[in-house]
Structure 1
Amino acid sequence: MTADALTGENLFQDPYPVYARLRKEAPVCLFPETSEWFVTRWADCQTIGLKDAIFGPSASSARPEARVMGMPNVLSMTGDEHKCLRVGIDENLTAEKVDSYVDRLARPVARRFIDEFRKRGSGDLTADLFEPISVRVIGDLIGLVDVDVETLTRWFHSLNGGLQRPSDPEAWAACERARAEIDAAMGPIIRRVTERPDHTLTSHVVHGGMPAGQVRGFDEIMPTMRVILLGGLQEPGHGAANAALGLLQNPGQAKAMAADPEGLSLRAYDEGLRWIAPIGVTPRLASDDFELAGTVIPKGASVAIVMASANRDEARFENADAFDLNRKRKPHASFGYRPHFCSGHYLSRQIGRISLEETFRSLSNLMLDPGREVVTKGWRFRGVLHLPARWNA
């Protein structure tokens, strides 16, 4: 079987050859293994993403997201219910609010991990640096200040495994264990902020957008908090790792980044999000028959907007398979589509910016370790899981 055949294993190992073939031969097609229709071209993804009246969020209990996150959650809601919940989620994630706290929240964390990491002279930029920075910053923002980095990292990897390999008994058992631990940790936090609201994201979700005297309870918010935990803990770290890989594969771009980390880190992070989308697909449900690219998507069908494929569409991005720090800036699809556009998009960019800025400023002569393998896997969620590197200690 060729590497570009549409199979779950090919997607997990490297989805981009599969997506390239689909864009050419079958831009809208049914993926039998998950019973969902893949939409892979940029223009077609835009069409589906912007037609919320026809392609609304999927509330199907058969989808892996429902099994892992629980229902209903912010991704499955629509209308006034969704708008009300988003008030609570978005309240402390606007650009203005994030700018007021992100530097003092994220930069000390990044510097603490980098200062210890720098002494080694070699290590895994993903597992030893970018993931720890990401989970510590987001964990603190949520209110999980007493949960260690190792546990937070295991949680998001386990939830991710449940989503990507739901038929694997070991992956699902790890996912269930993580869910139980998350619920046990979040229960006291939710009870506390219900009585004494604070600055944490959890507190905003409990209280935000609710009528006076009313709050959201544990069972109501936990499906959404699992969504936030998985996306929030995972995306900034993997986005930074994806960008770092792109830079380090091109010594000229890495040199430019090291010379001006403050000026180029945000551009590098955003190109990394386009090049390897940390969240690869977003689900929709067809409320009516709809013809797209010569194919009829039937009413009631589960649809996957393949954002990772849209980001590599040759019709949208020149030399789309390459990481290019100097690429002409165009919006990419990695944060999804309104009204479900990612609430944390600005925070993610700022954490990624700070992580890359501090890393390339502090690790002199940073380069890939030629004696160790870079490992990148996943398609619903994809990231550089292991990024071995060397530098001058």
Structure 2
Amino acid sequence: MTTAILDRERIKALFDLRSAANVWTGGDFEADPYPIWAKLREDAPVHEGTLHKLTGYPGEAMFQGLPEPDRAHFTAFSYAALDAAYRDPETFASSGSAIDPTTAGLENSMIYMGGTQHRRYRGLVQPSFVPAKAQWWLINWIQEAVQELINNFVNDGRAELNVDFCAAIPVLTITGSFGIPPEEALDLRAVLQDSAAVIQRLVPIVAARREEPKDDLISILVQATMQDEDGVSHQLSDGEIYAFALLLLHAGSGTTWKQMGITLANLLARPEVLARVREDRALLRPAIEESLRWVPTDPMFSRYVTKDVEFFGTELPKGAVLHLNVASANRDPARWDNPDEFDITRQARASFAFGGGPHICLGMHVARAEIRAGVSALLDRLPNLRLDPDAEAPRFIGMYERGVTEIPVLFG
């Protein structure tokens, strides 16, 4: 692998939340939403309306469950409300319509499936994403990408870590696991919203793996067998594999880079905490978990209400969309003391940073492994790592995808 071929300006255009590629999710939102969400959570656990309108975002922003103009919209803000919704997938479904997994497309991937269908499809790839499998990802793709990216700037004494580092690691990891060479990784990221273009690139890879499997993710999908509702076993069709691949590309290259940047920004803004983590790498794990709680990169997920229900004092009609504000729930004082403080020493409690229930993020252990490997390698190879005092400090931005602006650092 050689990562020097990655075009820095192209990475910035594709991954900067303020760019045209990301503004459709509200990437231009630069206010701090947490005080607004805290007030809404204090007033009531559930409010009528979409999250971006309740927050005061002036335009339209798209994400899961949006825009759906013919449905009623509600947003939940408390930890207890989200916990109840995640525990009741029959009432709060992941899709508003039936899913045809044989038809290639992100909308037909397992993230929108429910019940038995979701369990069968998730079970096919779950073994590749369990904590014990993290080493497979580290050895095959993550560690090499991390080290080569650092090689690109280690002698410069300065870097912009959001573009020079964080953005590239996940996209190289997931495309590498598909057998796509580094020089084509950004091409695939650039057409991610065009499912047909992505599938066109995957067609020869899937065909080649059917002929000769390798030690990669596409080969696992090609060789996977699943029992249908009648108990008949069959291999996945090409369409089913493409749907899996589209989901993993969206999730794998679209979230971890932002969360890694959030973790780095939190540590660099607190030099005393960064120094403790540098000296005791066991503290890196709680630092990552606290960053996930404090600012999760995806602050909202949505569910479709399948029946009329009274939910935390609000009547939700059948067919409505309930938006789950995981970011607000992750700062609920009913669950955490001083929840607005960033504190890596707080008692560990599970948050909703990766969602919850049957649809809890499949790749969360790989994401954690990427962040740990990336941050730890920076601390190993960049002595006296610190924010550049002459540059603008990182700021948290974004509505439905939260991340940080540039992370300018000095070292040495």
The answer to which of 92-101 and 274-283 deviates more is: 92-101
Per the TM alignment, residue 49 of structure 1 is displaced from its structure 2 partner at its CA by: 0.7
Contact 2:27–2:401 under 8 Å retained in 1: no
Per the TM alignment, residue 325 of structure 1 is displaced from its structure 2 partner at its CA by: 2.0
Contact 1:59–1:77 under 8 Å retained in 2: no
Q: Secondary structure at the match of 2:357?
A: coil
Could you say which residue in structure 2 is the equivalent of 1:273?
292
Contact 1:58–1:302 under 8 Å retained in 2: no
CA distance in 1, matches of 2:183, 2:119: 31
Question: What's the CA shift string for 1:108-153, capped at 9, x where partnerless?
Answer: 2211111222222222111111121222122212332355444355
When normalised by structure 1's length, the TM-score is: 0.83
CA distance in 2, matches of 1:45, 1:368: 36
Residue 250 of structure 2 corresponds to residue 230 of structure 1: yes
CA distance in 2, matches of 1:370, 1:257: 21
Could you say which residue in structure 1 is the equivalent of 2:42?
24
Residue 197 of structure 2 corresponds to residue 191 of structure 1: no
Match for residue 330 of structure 1 among 343, 349, 360: 349
Q: Secondary structure at the match of 1:370?
A: coil
CA distance in 2, matches of 1:31, 1:76: 22
Match for residue 201 of structure 1 among 212, 217, 220: 217
Could you say which residue in structure 2 is the equivalent of 1:310?
329
Per the TM alignment, residue 252 of structure 1 is displaced from its structure 2 partner at its CA by: 0.9
Could you say which residue in structure 1 is the equivalent of 2:170?
134
CA distance in 2, matches of 1:9, 1:79: 32
CA distance in 2, matches of 1:59, 1:227: 18
> Kindly tell me: are residues 286 and 315 of structure 1, through their superposed partners in 2, closer, same or farther at Cα, counting changes over 3 Å?
same
CA distance in 2, matches of 1:100, 1:135: 17
The answer to which of 347-356 and 21-30 deviates more is: 21-30
> Kindly tell me: are residues 245 and 69 of structure 1, through their superposed partners in 2, closer, same or farther at Cα, counting changes over 3 Å?
farther
Question: What's the CA shift string for 1:361-385, capped at 9, x where partnerless?
Answer: 2211112223333243323322224
Q: Which structure 2 residues correspond to residues 226-305 of structure 1 after superposition, within 5 A? A: 226-260=246-280, 262-305=281-324
Structure 2 segments unaligned to the other structure (5+ residues): 1-24, 54-66, 99-103
Could you say which residue in structure 1 is the equivalent of 2:120?
84
* RMSD (Å) for aligned C-alpha atoms: 2.6
Contact 1:269–1:356 under 8 Å retained in 2: no
Contact 1:278–1:383 under 8 Å retained in 2: yes
> Kindly tell me: are residues 257 and 16 of structure 1, through their superposed partners in 2, closer, same or farther at Cα, counting changes over 3 Å?
same
> Kindly tell me: are residues 41 and 209 of structure 1, through their superposed partners in 2, closer, same or farther at Cα, counting changes over 3 Å?
farther
> Kindly tell me: are residues 278 and 121 of structure 1, through their superposed partners in 2, closer, same or farther at Cα, counting changes over 3 Å?
same
Per the TM alignment, residue 309 of structure 1 is displaced from its structure 2 partner at its CA by: 1.6
Residue 355 of structure 2 corresponds to residue 355 of structure 1: no
CA distance in 2, matches of 1:153, 1:368: 29
Could you say which residue in structure 2 is the equivalent of 1:52?
89
Structure 1 segments unaligned to the other structure (5+ residues): 1-7, 62-67, 160-174
Per the TM alignment, residue 46 of structure 1 is displaced from its structure 2 partner at its CA by: 0.3
CA distance in 2, matches of 1:135, 1:44: 34
Match for residue 110 of structure 1 among 146, 152, 168: 146
Report the AA paired with residue 201 of structure 1. L
CA distance in 1, matches of 2:33, 2:332: 13
Report the AA paired with residue 73 of structure 2. E
The answer to which of 102-111 and 35-44 deviates more is: 102-111
CA distance in 1, matches of 2:33, 2:218: 34
Question: What's the CA shift string for 1:78-136, capped at 9, x where partnerless?
Answer: 12221221122213112222234524532222111112222222221111111212221
Per the TM alignment, residue 182 of structure 1 is displaced from its structure 2 partner at its CA by: 1.8
> Kindly tell me: are residues 18 and 47 of structure 1, through their superposed partners in 2, closer, same or farther at Cα, counting changes over 3 Å?
same
> Kindly tell me: are residues 209 and 50 of structure 1, through their superposed partners in 2, closer, same or farther at Cα, counting changes over 3 Å?
farther
> Kindly tell me: are residues 331 and 251 of structure 1, through their superposed partners in 2, closer, same or farther at Cα, counting changes over 3 Å?
same
The answer to which of 141-150 and 111-120 deviates more is: 141-150
**Number of matched residues?**
358
Report the AA paired with residue 381 of structure 1. E
The answer to which of 374-383 and 343-352 deviates more is: 374-383
CA distance in 1, matches of 2:351, 2:400: 17
Q: Secondary structure at the match of 1:339?
A: helix
Percentage of identical aligned residues: 27
Residue 401 of structure 2 corresponds to residue 381 of structure 1: yes
> Kindly tell me: are residues 236 and 107 of structure 1, through their superposed partners in 2, closer, same or farther at Cα, counting changes over 3 Å?
same
> Kindly tell me: are residues 346 and 58 of structure 1, through their superposed partners in 2, closer, same or farther at Cα, counting changes over 3 Å?
same
Per the TM alignment, residue 305 of structure 1 is displaced from its structure 2 partner at its CA by: 1.4
When normalised by structure 2's length, the TM-score is: 0.79
